[in-house]
Amino acid sequence: MSLDPVSSNPDHYRIVFENDRVRVLEYTDVPGDRTTPHQHPDSVMITMSSFARRLHAGSGYRDVELSAGKAMWLPAQQHAGENVGESPTHALFVELKETPGAPSAAEGQALGPQ
- Evaluate if residue 111 carries a pLDDT over 90: no
**104 inside domain:** no
Q: How many domains does the chain have?
A: 1
Q: What is the pLDDT of residues 9-57, one digit of tens each?
A: 999 999 999 999 999 999 999 999 999 999 999 999 999 999 999 999 9
**51 inside domain:** yes
Considering the entire predicted model, what is its pTM?
0.84
**17 inside domain:** yes
Q: What is the pLDDT of residues 52-90, one digit of tens each?
A: 999 999 899 999 999 999 999 999 999 999 999 999 999
**9 inside domain:** yes
Whether 36 and 112 have beta carbons less than 8 Å apart is answered as: no
The alpha carbon of 98 is separated from its chain's Cα centroid by a whole number of angstroms, namely 16
The domain that holds 24 is classified in CATH as: 2.60.120.10
Domain ranges, residue 59 = 5-96
Give the contacts of 39 (CB within 8 A, at least 6 positions apart): 3, 4, 5, 76, 77, 78, 79
